[in-house]
Amino acid sequence: MSVQPVALIPAQSVPGAIAALYTAPAGVIARIDSLGVCNVGTVPASVTLYLVPSGAAAGPAAATTFGQTILPGQTWNSPNEIGRVLQPGDAIAAQASASGALTISAGGLLVTVS
């Protein structure tokens, strides 16, 4: 077994439609240690975050943060996903209220199971 700190989601734009931004690979368990969203736009925007079980779809049942408003120039560090564990095939998905307004990044640990 090995444990490796990694950027689960390197800084990237949050899409306006629900999209998986990270999926735990086969044989790997991922723990989320940090997840931040920054509003790079000029008006308030909101983000919805999902922790989606393998084989399921992102939707209300998988939402862990729903419609969190972030002001222009503000960075919001989510407390809702920290410490959560993703099994192989589980995903982090996100959706912004406006495409191009928000950026997201997340870090954590990958545990390779043998």
Domains of the chain, with CATH numbers?
2-112 (2.60.120)
Using alpha carbons, select from 85, 80, 73 the residue that is nearest to residue 38.
Answer: 73
Task: Give the contacts of 13 (CB within 8 A, at least 6 positions apart).
Answer: 96, 99, 100, 102, 103, 104
pTM: 0.94
Instruction: Give the whole-angstrom CA distance, residue 89 versus residue 27.
Output: 9
For CA atoms 89, 66, 83, 108, give the dihedral sign. Answer: positive
For 99, the token pair is 């495409």
Percent of the chain with pLDDT over 70: 99
Query: 58-88, pLDDT tens digit by residue?
Result: 999 999 999 999 999 999 999 999 999 999 9
